[in-house]
Structure 1
Amino acid sequence: MTEREALDAAALDAAGRHTRKEDHVRLAAAQWTGGGPRSDFDDVAFVHHALGAVAVEEVDPSVEMLGRRVAWPFYINGMTGGTEHTGRINRDLAIAARETGIAMACGSMSIALDDAEAARAFTVIRDENPDGLVMANLGVGRTAEDAARVVEMLRADALQLHVNAVQETVMPEGSPEFGSWLRGIEEIVRASPVPVLVKEVGFGLSPRTLLRLQELGVEWADVSGRGGTDFLRIENDRRPGGDYAYLTGFGQSAPACLLDAAATAELSPGPVLLASGGVRSPLDVLRALALGARAVGVAGAFLTAVDSGGPDALVPLLRTWQDHLRDLSALLGARTPADLAHTDVLIRGGLREYCELRGIEAGRYSRRSED
Structure 2
Amino acid sequence: MSPRAEHLDYVDLVRVLTVGLVIGMHVLVLSPFAHGVAIGALIVVFHVSREVFFLLTAFVLTHSTVRRPRWPRFWRRRYLLVAVPYLLWTVVYFFADGGPYSLTAFRTELLTGTARYHLYFLLVSMQIYLVWPLVRALIAATRRHHAALLAFAVAFQLVFALAVQQQWDLGALSGWVHAPDAWLPSYLGYVLAGALAGAHRDRLVAWTRAHTARVLGGCAAAVALGVTVYWGQVSLAGQSPPQAAIVFQPVVVVESFAVAWAFLAIGLLWTARGTPGRHLVGLTSDASFGVYLLHPLVLQYLLAAVALAGPGADPAPDAVVLPVLVLGVVPLVYLVSVLVTALARRTPVSLALTGRPRRNRAAVARPALVPTGGTP
TM-score, structure 1 length as denominator? 0.28
Structure having greater relative contact order (Cα 8 Å, sep ≥ 6): 2
By percentage of residues, which structure has more strand? 1
